[in-house]
Amino acid sequence: MAADTRITRVSEAAYRMRHHALNMGEAQGQGYVGQALGAADMLAAVYADQLNYRADDPQWSERDRFLLSTGHYAIGLYAALAEAGIVDVDELATYGSDDSRLPMSGMASYTPGMEISGGSLGHGLTVAVGMALALRHQGNTARVINFLSDGELDEGSTWEAAMGASHHGLSNLIAMVDINALQADGPTAGVLRTEPVADKWAACGWHVQRVDGNDVAALLTAFDQVSADKPSVILCDTRIGRGVALLENREKAHFMRIDADEWQICRDQLTAGYEGVPA
């Protein structure tokens, strides 16, 4: 497929996913909307370009496994699952409601296509390593893609898993880190300094790339250049609230409460700022 066609397809998916996230957030009046907007390009690259799956059979044994370590990003993943045809768009309106299959924090037992119940934070990569080992043992060529946050780099379990993955030469494992420079308690640089992040992953034996995580072309190039003989990490610098100026500049960005009259402003800003062809 021509590169520009591929970029357009993923960009359009990300645009629709951002609208889905705003609509879900409005249903509750609040939520982890900023993360969904910030990570939409990463998730779109995965679901609209990389992941091998069957929408009508989420448990297909040969599927690539996408593990959302950050359970609170579920709103972003639901948008991706809708885009992928695994969840109906209409169902997104139930987000966070009683009896919904789409709870605020991701639950594997509730949602088709949700591989793990992420958060407690810092455990997704450990599960991913186990899955990647098991798949290789079974002769299954499926890949494991683990999405984690920069806040999770504070966790010792993440680095134990990182060392284990390279020790076992898990070339079927890709980690994506959403570096939005923010975590629940404040800016990551103030909570616990984790830079130089790329050097740390390299020291653990990983193939390392660092890209603008809101640049679809850069994300796709990074996926094209993952290692064939060791685990790969794509460090993605993103902006929380990306695409909606009102939210990009909000001080309390980790868990957003958005006034009733602001949601349409958010949608209008997203639409106005979109440079592609809205579907």
Binding residues for Mg ion, rule: CB under 5 A, are: 149-151, 180, 182-183
Are 39 and 117 in contact by the 8 Å Cβ rule? The answer is no
| Cβ at position 251, least distance to Mg ion in Å | 15
Range list of β-strands (E), the chain? 30-31, 65-68, 144-149, 173-179, 182-183, 186-187, 207-212, 232-237, 256-257
To 5 degrees, how large is the angle CA 72–CA 156–CA 213?
A: 50
| Cβ at position 63, least distance to Mg ion in Å | 27
Which CB, 181 or 245, lies closer to Mg ion?
A: 181
| Cβ at position 228, least distance to Mg ion in Å | 30
Q: Count of residues for the chain?
A: 279
DSSP structural state of residue 56: T
DSSP structural state of residue 64: P
| Cβ at position 152, least distance to Mg ion in Å | 8
Which CB, 213 or 231, lies closer to Mg ion?
A: 213
CA–chain centroid gap for 156, Å, is 21
Structure tokens at 59: 């448990």
Which CB, 69 or 183, lies closer to Mg ion?
A: 183
Which CB, 19 or 239, lies closer to Mg ion?
A: 239
Which CB, 12 or 150, lies closer to Mg ion?
A: 150
Phi, psi of 180 (to 5 degrees): -100, 5
> What one-letter code names the amino acid at 176?
M
| Cβ at position 38, least distance to Mg ion in Å | 9
